[in-house]
Amino acid sequence: MAERNATFIREWYNWYALYYINSSYTYNAMQYPSGLARWKADLIHIEYGTVSRPDRQVGDSNIKNTSEQRTPFGFTRSGNTEKTCRLYVGISKIEALAPVTSNLSDWSYNTRRHCPVLNIDSGKKSTGQKFVINCEADVAYAYLNSTKSPRNIQQFSPDDKCLRKYVDKCCSDSLPVPNVVHYVWYNERKLSFFHFVSFISVLRFVRPCVILIHGNIIPSGNYWKFILDLYPNIVHVFREITSTLFGKKVKFLEHFSDIWRLKALVRFGGIYLDTDTVLVKPIDTLRRFPCTMSRQTKNKTIGSAFIMAERNATFIREWFDWYKMNYVNSSYTYNAMKRTSIIAFRRRDLIHIEYGTVSRPDRQVGDIIFYTNTNWANIYGIHLYVRSFWKLSKYIDENTVMDFNTTVGALCRHILYGNKELCIAMP
């Protein structure tokens, strides 16, 4: 219900006119206006389930003859007689993020906007939520339990059958790639600012059913607490670091990350990102391909910092089989990039290759992204290579990035605050 020319309806319509997303059934009409409503609460009166679907009907096990439903935490799939995926997880806080309003046709940065303050170091101690997955017979379900520790994350073994069942039944829809995100995390404790931005970009633009952290530990720190409070659908898949891989001594720990991401995609399918890869727009259009990777430079090298694949994708399986038989332990990049590129250009029928749209675009090589501004309107995301700029990156956080007039600054503001323009901090 709305008065004529209501401000809320007009702002919603203006966003639709500029940023219409044709790859999502619900984003334009439900997810975006929900975020706008929380951000502009003064413009709208919100009824609580009195003219829509009551709370108790979310994930209700008595729903019959429903083929598929989109929930705030992903997809639920149903059989002919009763649901085989049941979600008792309520509503996430993702909609509290400021809506995306970046003008991707103006790159002058001549204006400043008020940016919301993220209270990362608020120091408030409150009870959080632990995401729990369980299975009974052919039914997978998830719910939230109260917890006082951000370290209290459900842990699975890599071959756990219930986790596999949950991904199959609750995170899959009509597209080949399930809506689940994978990160690898090992031997590092605190989540850094750029890791944090990567997680926020995934929550904002992917809305995953669940995030799987693969490794021997889970992150910690204030950024990690903020992520869990915003979106508790995170579980830990424990993987152990050893001294050898496929009978050869490991000289680069990153090779474990190479293997773990391939194993994860073979078993579950989904979306893998390096922890310093960020997304800047929805990627559902890429989920229709059985496997997607991106070229990163003019030498045709394919980067492995972003991979999308259906479960047991032929390309991923052939790559993994090659790794097992021919692992080159003396090269940092050969197994994950150079060899991958050879396989990809020989087997183009197995993989969709983007040209620099989810990795490092040609013009963003070297110091450009950290020291100058470039137009990134046509990319899905970018691998920031943060460790190459560690001397500078350690001074960048959610506050300093408000006035950081470079490509990296604009990307972070777009992801965190919904607008790429330089900020005037809100009081």
Taking residues 247-267, report their average pLDDT: 89
What are 105-160's pLDDT values in tens digits? Answer: 999 998 899 888 888 876 555 678 899 999 998 899 999 988 888 889 999 999 99
Q: Is residue 131 part of a domain?
A: no
Q: Which domain holds residue 9?
A: 1-52
Do both 4 and 119 map to the same domain?
no
Do both 36 and 117 map to the same domain?
no
Q: Give the C-alpha distances (Å, rounded to integers) separating 138 from 78, 166, 169.
A: 11, 10, 9
Q: Is the pLDDT of residue 63 over 50?
A: no
Do both 348 and 419 map to the same domain?
yes
Query: Hey, which of 265-279, 292-306, 370-384 has the most confident mean pLDDT?
Result: 265-279
Higher pLDDT, 166 or 77: 166
Query: What are the helix and strand counts (H, E) for the chain?
Result: 11, 19
**347-350 contacts: CB < 8 A, separation 24 or more?**
347/315, 347/318, 350/290, 350/291, 350/313, 350/314, 350/315, 350/318
Number of structural domains in the chain = 2
pLDDT at residue 280, rounded to an integer: 96
Question: Would you give the end-to-end CA distance of the chain in angstroms?
Answer: 33
The label of the residue with tokens 């089989």 reads: 321
Do both 237 and 369 map to the same domain?
yes
Q: What is the DSSP string of 144-205?
A: EEEES-TT---EE-TT-HHHHHHHHHHS--SSSS-SEEEEE--S--B--HHHHHHHHHHHHH
The CATH number of whichever domain residue 347 belongs to comes to 3.90.550
Rg (CA), the chain: 21
Q: Are 87 and 71 in contact (CB under 8 A)?
A: yes
Q: Which string of b and e fits 47-75 if b means at least 16 CB within 10 Å?
A: eeeeeeeeeeebbbeeeeeeeebbbbbbb
pLDDT at residue 33, rounded to an integer: 80
Q: Is residue 74 part of a domain?
A: no
Listed range (79-88, 246-255, 275-284, 295-304) with the worst mean pLDDT? 79-88
Residue 22's pLDDT band (boundaries 50, 70, 90)?
A: low
Q: Is residue 71 part of a domain?
A: no
Query: Hey, which of 1-15, 87-101, 341-355 has the most confident mean pLDDT?
Result: 341-355
Do both 116 and 2 map to the same domain?
no
Q: Is residue 41 part of a domain?
A: yes
What are 370-414's pLDDT values in tens digits? Answer: 888 888 999 999 998 887 776 777 789 999 999 999 999 999 999
Q: Is residue 385 part of a domain?
A: yes
Q: Judge residue 127's burial from the number of C-beta atoms within 10 Å of its C-beta, 0-12 exposed, 13-18 middle, 19 or more buried.
A: exposed
Do both 182 and 260 map to the same domain?
yes
State pTM to two decimals: 0.80
Residue 46's pLDDT band (boundaries 50, 70, 90)?
A: confident
- Listed residue (387, 389, 415, 388) closest to 401, CA to CA: 415
Query: Hey, which of 21-35, 71-85, 159-173, 246-260 has the most confident mean pLDDT?
Result: 159-173
Pairing between strand 68-71 and 74-77?
antiparallel
